[in-house]
Every structure is written in structure tokens, then in C-alpha cells.
């Protein structure tokens, strides 16, 4: 099994690699999620779903002269992704002290994994808590980042609170009482997806029925998250904070940021993501899609298109005016139109709009 051993703490981080190519992508999952949660993005980015059979030895020397990736990604090369279980979940170690879980510590885990893989630089994509960790990683080691994508991100502290209403209170109560994979799966579906999506029919069954069985199987396979892991990861979210200095590091380090969010997310509220995008101008773009907290599953085609566009634009190093698919709006923002194959679900067509805030090379 592929593990990254953190010798200083005894922590082991389980990871998987998929695909092959000089374009490297590190995927960081969120609270209570495992590496498997990135399935739609792994397939969309690499074209495969199965992990590499054998773990290849590192192909680069971090900080040294040997570096097969080089300073630019060659056109036509494939993509290799690495996804992993954060400490406290899945097959990774589960520290028992809450103080062992912060987004800074977990960003150090991710950085150690990059070193273990021999990846000098990577595109770093994070979801929810994973996006918080990705922010910390980008501020901690900006020289290791090609681009940054933050999916359904929010801030720490009070920003961790979901939208408070009777429905959310009911979900929270049921989540805390869930003791079996079946009980947990029912709550997860309602918090991760829109009702519209769950009620869609696929053949003779609804997506809710199909996903329920998938969730029960996945949770049964990986096991329910331990109390230590859940409380620790929750502590990481609650104590997360990006200082003005860290945000300035991200703004000034020369890589682009995409903030991708589902408009119907009841866990990570859209307003917080919009404010973060504003703070990261002029290198950030806000991508709003019709979907909930797992918009990466609900709208995989659009999310994958946005991620591929970020990779493409990042390696092109073109000036904004040189990108033919960009047009400047009256507000001064750059607007990218993408054709969505799923826009029949969103009649206003807004899910085909990506806003880029004055990208600089």
C-alpha cells in the first residue's frame, strides 16, 4: 500500500496516484472524506479510474537540478493526479489529540507528500476543508504551486457554520445520531446534493436510490470515521484562518486561483467564497454552478472543464488580452463563456458563465 511516512510524528498518509504525464495535480479532500471522493475529477482529468498498479519512484529532485517536470508543462503531455486521505480519516493515521489537527499541520502533511512523490510543483485542488488546507499550503510554499482551485471553500470560525434553518438543524441532529452506514448515507445525500438532482430518474431508478447504495457501500468499506478523527478535523476547520499576509502571498506569487462553488451549498455558504475571491483579486476567478456542496459530483462536466481551463491558462502564460475566449465586461472583470452539456437543468443558463477577475500572467 502506498503511504507517506512522516518520520517526525509517526503519522502515515495513505495516497493513490492515477494517470501518467508531466502535469501534476494534488487533490485534497474535505471533512470526513476519503481519496475516493475525487472519482469524477480523476476520471475527467486523467481519463482513467483505476490507480497506478505500481508506485513509480520519484522522478524529480526537490530543490535540486534533476526535474523532469521542468518549469513548463509540455503541450500534449498527460496528467497524473495524487489523492490522499487526510489524517483522521480512511487509511491514514488518526491522532487522538485535537491539537494535532489544524489546517497548517495538514498542509504540512500535503507538502511532505509532494516531497515524497518528488513533485517540485503541482496544481493543487482542494474541496471544502481540503480547500482550506490548500490555501495554507499555497501560502506556506507558493513556489510549489502551478495553480490553485478551491471547491466549495469557506473560512474558519463562524464561517464554518452552515445555513441555519429547521432543515439544517434536523440534518445536524441526524448526523450526530448516525451510527450505521445506512443512517449516515441518508444524511450525507441530503447535505451533499440538491433535491432536484437526487430526484432525477436514471432509467427506472432515482439518483437518490443509486447514490444511497453507493454511499452505504463506500462507508462500509472505509468504516465510519472515528470520534477522534471527526472532532480533530472539525477542530481544524473551526481554527482555520487566513491572515492578510498569507492572502497577500497567494496574490503576489504568480499563480492563478479558481474558486468553484455550488449556489445551493447549505454547508459552505456561497457568500464566504465570494468574499475570499474578492480578497484574492486580481488573480482569482469565481466559478458559480448550479449544485450543492458536492458540486464536483453533481456537475462533474462543468467542474472538470473549469479545472482543465485553469491548467491550460496557467501553462499558457499569455496576457489576458491574448486569450481569444475572454472578453472584458463593463465591471472590468474578464468573462469566460463555456458551453455546458447540462444546461437543460438550469434554464437561466447561468451555469455556463465563469467570471475571471482581471487575470495577470
Mean pLDDT by 10 residues, the chain (361 residues): 87 97 97 94 95 63 35 62 97 96 98 97 98 98 98 94 81 83 90 96 95 90 87 96 98 96 95 96 95 97 96 74 36 38 40 38 30
| The total number of residues written for the chain in this structure | 361
Report the DSSP beta bridge partners of residue 145: 122
- All 3 cell numbers of residue 20? 501518467
Q: What local confidence, expressed as pLDDT, does residue 66 receive?
A: 30
HSE toward the beta carbon, residue 258, CA cutoff 13 A: 29
Q: Is 270 helix (H, G, I), strand (E, B) or coil?
A: helix
For residue 61 the three cell numbers come to: 529532485
Residue 337: the pLDDT is 40
**Distance separating alpha carbons of residues 165 and 293, to the nearest angstrom:** 17
| Nearest residue to 33 (alpha-carbon basis) of 131, 162, 163, 174 | 131
Q: At what angle do helices 227-239 and 103-117 cross, to 10 degrees?
A: 100
pLDDT at 303: 98
Of 137, 159, 156, residue with least CA distance to 148: 137
pLDDT for 166: 81
Q: Which three cell numbers stand for residue 109?
A: 502533511
Q: Quote the pTM value.
A: 0.84
- State the Cα–Cα distance between residues 64 and 54, nearest whole angstrom: 25
Position 163 scores a pLDDT of 78
Cα gap 22→56, rounded to integer Å = 13
Reference 82, options 32, 127, 117; nearest CA is 117
Phi, psi dihedrals of residue 285, rounded to the nearest 5°: -130, 145
Amino acid at each position: 500500500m502506498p503511504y507517506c511516512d512522516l518520520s517526525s510524528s509517526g503519522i502515515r498518509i495513505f495516497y493513490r496516484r492515477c494517470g501518467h504525464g508531466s502535469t501534476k495535480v494534488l487533490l485534497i479532500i474535505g471533512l470526513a472524506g476519503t481519496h475516493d471522493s475525487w472519482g469524477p475529477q480523476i476520471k475527467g482529468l486523467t481519463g482513467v479510474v483505476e490507480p497506478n498498479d505500481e508506485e513509480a519512484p520519484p522522478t524529480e529532485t526537490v530543490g535540486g537540478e534533476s526535474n523532469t517536470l521542468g518549469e513548463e508543462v509540455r503541450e500534449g503531455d498527460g496528467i497524473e493526479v495524487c489523492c490522499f486521505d487526510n489524517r483522521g480519516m480512511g487509511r491514514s493515521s488518526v491522532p487522538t489529540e485535537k491539537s494535532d489537527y489544524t489546517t497548517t499541520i495538514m498542509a504540512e502533511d500535503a507538502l511532505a507528500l509532494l516531497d515524497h512523490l518528488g513533485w517540485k510543483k503541482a496544481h493543487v485542488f482542494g474541496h471544502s476543508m481540503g480547500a482550506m488546507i490548500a490555501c495554507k499550503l499555497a501560502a506556506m510554499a507558493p513556489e510549489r504551486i502551478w495553480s490553485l482551485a478551491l471547491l466549495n471553500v469557506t473560512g474558519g470560525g463562524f464561517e464554518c457554520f452552515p445555513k441555519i434553518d429547521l432543515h439544517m438543524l434536523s440534518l445536524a441532529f441526524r448526523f450526530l445520531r448516525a451510527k450505521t452506514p445506512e443512517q449516515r448515507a441518508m444524511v450525507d445525500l441530503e447535505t451533499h446534493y440538491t433535491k432536484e438532482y437526487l430526484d432525477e430518474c436514471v432509467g427506472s431508478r432515482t439518483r437518490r436510490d443509486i447514490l444511497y447504495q453507493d454511499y452505504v457501500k463506500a462507508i462500509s468499506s472505509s468504516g465510519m470515521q472515528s470520534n477522534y478523527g471527526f472532532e480533530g478535523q472539525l477542530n481544524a476547520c473551526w481554527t482555520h484562518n487566513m491572515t492578510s499576509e498569507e492572502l497577500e502571498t497567494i496574490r503576489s506569487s504568480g499563480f492563478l486561483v479558481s474558486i468553484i462553488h455550488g449556489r445551493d451549498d447549505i454547508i459552505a455558504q456561497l457568500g464566504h467564497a465570494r468574499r475570499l475571491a474578492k480578497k484574492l483579486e486580481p488573480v482569482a476567478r469565481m466559478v458559480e454552478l448550479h449544485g450543492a456542496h458536492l458540486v464536483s459530483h453533481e456537475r462533474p462536466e462543468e467542474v472538470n472543464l473549469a479545472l482543465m481551463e485553469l491548467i491550460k491558462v496557467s501553462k499558457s502564460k499569455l496576457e489576458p488580452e491574448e486569450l481569444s475566449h475572454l472578453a472584458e465586461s463593463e465591471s472590468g472583470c474578464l468573462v469566460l463563456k463555456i458551453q455546458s452539456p447540462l444546461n437543460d437543468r438550469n434554464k437561466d443558463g447561468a451555469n455556463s458563465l465563469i467570471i475571471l477577475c482581471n487575470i495577470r500572467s
